[in-house]
Amino acid sequence: MTNHLVGNAAPYVAAPGEMEVERVVTASMCNMKEGIFAQMEKIRADSLRNNTPHGIHVVLHYQSGWFVHWVEGPAAAVRDLMQRVQHDPRHHSPHTLHTSKGRRILPTPWSMAMSQATESAVGFGRRVIALREQLEKGKQYSPSSVLRRLSAPMRLAQAQGLADPEAFHRMGICSAAGNEAFDMVGWLAQKTGGTVAKRRFAGETDFDGSSEYIDFMEGGYPCRLIAVARNGLTHGLRRAFLPEWPHFVMLFCGTARFDDALMDRMVAACDGLPAKPALVGVARDADTHSRMQDMAQAARLEYVVGGVATPDNCSAIWQTMRDQLDRAGAPPSSVWDVPRMAA
């Protein structure tokens, strides 16, 4: 049985003795017309120097002329930072989209992402205003859901009009040696007639990971398959999303050093998370499954034998995915309670 987070039991309440942080997500319009990447690098350097010592963790996302800023840390430090950010000349018109308190979700001090989306600032802004209005009416989504609804909303026609637009299955996939995970996304796009979306992620030093995804329908529910680069598995923002992925497909190549390295990365990525996906292995032989299962169990991770196949056998991998999705049932909600503020 998987141990992913479901329903709105996801406020990640701090455990006894665990530090409670304040979380804030805002979106604002960028004032800069060029040199965005260079400015984001400068913001990263300033944040690591000035904010990290105060226990503040930050995500900065840029897309379509908008910044999305996700901040976590001690309440006083977060509020001081948000006051300073509000007056930064590089952006304007900030909108608060999420506020909550609890255990830390962001595992690393800094993450940033840029999207290759060609959407206009107006289109992106409509989603910002919609989220702000929902918050004002007493309804909000998890921080990761806010970022996803802004930067990568579910666009399938069959999913439009759902009471909860975030109620769709998410499944990650990564390959041990080649690019088969990304090939699988491309194969599924051809099969379903969908469009592959691309993302780039960065951590404390440089852009260090890429991601592609495809949306599709399965079992009457919207679904998303996300291919993750091996070097992006332990990226802080990627790890923040993992608790919401019930399953993660791992494509093993049959070479022990590559397969073991992939499992080691996944173990590191899941370390300390409040919930962890079930690992669905696809391997060339039963011996590889046995070794991977032992490694997963040693790290207290669930391992599902997904099938015996080569990592480039897209049809077999698709059947494995369908089996897991069909057993998953209805997707969980990403709605959180809005905290009551003291008078």
The pLDDT value given to residue 11: 60
Examine the pLDDT at 126 and tell me if it is beyond 80: yes
Tens of pLDDT, residue by residue over 57-69, are 999 999 999 999 9
The pLDDT value given to residue 23: 96
Our CA angle for 99, 213, 269, nearest 5°, is 60
User: Which of these CATH numbers, 3.40.30.10, 3.40.50.300, 2.60.40.420, 3.30.70.100, describes 21-156?
Assistant: 3.30.70.100
- What CA–CA distance (Å, rounded) separates 303 from 248? 10
In Å, how far from its chain's centre is CA 81?
24
Tens of pLDDT, residue by residue over 314-342, are 999 999 999 999 999 888 877 776 654 43
What is the phi/psi pair of residue 221, to 5°?
-120, 145
114 and 200 Cβ atoms separated by less than 8 Å? yes
CB within 8 Å of 173: residues ≥ 6 apart: 181, 184, 185, 225, 226, 227, 228, 248, 249, 250, 251, 317
Q: How many helices (H) and strands (E) does the chain have?
A: 9, 14
Assess if CATH 3.20.20.70 describes domain 169-328.
Answer: no
The pLDDT value given to residue 200: 78
- What CA–CA distance (Å, rounded) separates 113 from 66? 12
Could you tell me the residue ranges of all domains in the chain? 21-156, 169-328
- What CA–CA distance (Å, rounded) separates 57 from 23? 10
pLDDT band at 274 (very low <50, low <70, confident <90, very high): confident
CA atoms within 13 A on the CB side of 250: 29
**Both tokens assigned to 246:** 């019930």
Strand pairing class (169-175; 247-251): parallel
Helix (H) or strand (E) holding 207: strand 207-218
